[in-house]
Amino acid sequence: MSAPSLFAAARGVFMRDVTVALRRSTDILTPLVFFTIVVTLFPLGVGPGPNLLRTMAPGVIWVAALLATMLSLGRLFSNDYADGTLEQLALAPHPLSILVLSKILAHWVLTGLPLVIISPLLALQLNFEDQHMWILVMSLLLGTPVLSLVGSIGAALTLGLRGGGVLVSLLVLPLYTPALIFGAGAVSARDLTEVHLSLLAAVLVLATIFAPWAAAAGLRISLD
């Protein structure tokens, strides 16, 4: 029997990850609930001043999205590592980086996309202006995939290590800085919105090209 095509193999990996995650609803709900709680509780800590909340809204939402994404990085490869699926993917007659990209896409669909969808509602709690809501959504649409792509590198390098969650944080937090700066800056610096969104799109393109390759290399190291 001939091996499936590259597209069929990548689609199979994507659908498998989505199906497995849907059967374990906590994998999807935990980052979303965490994101909601962080943004909702923030006004209690800084006060209800509408101008202050409006100014801090982009940074609060972006930092909460960043932390929520990091919370879910542990399940990106760990379950497949435990049941031997990763070894089968590494032995498949297809580039491991493409299969890893499918897993990253599934992770974003299950984690990042729900954050983007719910962000306008949470932004209203921070007195964010309706007319600029599209900028916030666009920045998250461009930025949350970067968080998943870059996070996959840290998740791959720390796979199977004790205390891997802490190590992932140390590895990926510095790498998240450009996405955080350009994403929050696109919303707060209204006169430079297009510049920040363009830079964020460039970061996304670079991450899409290099992150799956780096994550695949990290997985091979962890499997060895």
User: According to the model, what pLDDT value does residue 1 have?
Assistant: 47
Look at residue 84 and tell me if it is in a domain.
yes
**Conformation bin of residue 105: beta by default, left when phi > 0, alpha when psi is -120 to 50:** alpha
Look at residue 89 and tell me if it is in a domain.
yes
Look at residue 178 and tell me if it is in a domain.
yes
Residue stretches of the chain with pLDDT short of 50:
1
Predicted TM-score (pTM) of the model is: 0.91
Look at residue 122 and tell me if it is in a domain.
yes
User: According to the model, what pLDDT value does residue 164 have?
Assistant: 63
Cα 118 from Cα 129, distance rounded (Å): 16
Q: What is the extent of the structural domain holding 196?
A: 6-223
User: According to the model, what pLDDT value does residue 98 have?
Assistant: 93
Cα 26 from Cα 24, distance rounded (Å): 5
Domain count within the chain: 1
User: According to the model, what pLDDT value does residue 67 have?
Assistant: 92
Look at residue 76 and tell me if it is in a domain.
yes
Look at residue 1 and tell me if it is in a domain.
no
Look at residue 48 and tell me if it is in a domain.
yes
Look at residue 151 and tell me if it is in a domain.
yes
Q: Greatest CA span in the chain, whole angstroms? A: 66
